[in-house]
Structure 1
Amino acid sequence: MAELALGIVGIAGTVDVCIKFGRVLVQAYKDYGQADAVVGELSVHIQICWSRLVSQLEIVKELESGMARDQRELQSQTLCILQSKLEAATLAISKPEKYASSKRIKAIQFLETL
């Protein structure tokens, strides 16, 4: 299904979707970062990685027109994987927890899904 969406939207659109989901995840990590020092450290690490990834995604979008067909296909496959992982992680943090009462427990459960 994600491959179909990628084919319709293209690399640039998929990059935009990935950036959108990533920003949601970074904000969630910031929110969870207030719950516990360990989660806070992970939050900072994820923010740094995400910042780098956004830069790389923007470059991919700029270079798309000059890519050979094989390169485009490989980038499309990679972006499809990234998009599905970001969607799954976003879904995991948006579900209300039935049994977890503290922010720390929720944060740890979320980290285990990655």
Structure 2
Amino acid sequence: MGQPVTTDPILIAVINMTVVFVVLYGLSLVVNLIQVIDPTQKKKRQESEHNSLVKTASTATATNVLQEDYDEMIILFTAAIAAYGYSNMRVVAIRPANSSTWSQAARMEMVNTRR
């Protein structure tokens, strides 16, 4: 009885992996059971549905406002570039710049060396 059942390392690894996956599957069953039994689940669903309806309505309005602001920014940037003397250029992308002063200084240096 004091002797091990097997000394094959592959068989030992398979047994250990099987035990781990059985325990994980059991834990997932416990979590699913808790979700089914949870009495507050119905309240949470109703609140989330209400919040999603409110967010959808406000997002639609905000999207229209943001698109109008974005269109105005493109028009202003294009006009500023044309006024600066680059009339045959076109705006391809507008991205926000980082607020790092080192990055801004490097950009200004690159712009000044192009002239």
Specify if TM > 0.5: no
Q: Which of the five TM-score ranges fits, normalised by the shorter chain? A: under 0.3
Q: Which has the larger radius of gyration?
A: 2
If asked which structure has higher relative contact order (CA below 8 Å, sep 6+), I would say 1
Larger proportion of helix: 1
Structure-2-length-normalised TM-score: 0.27
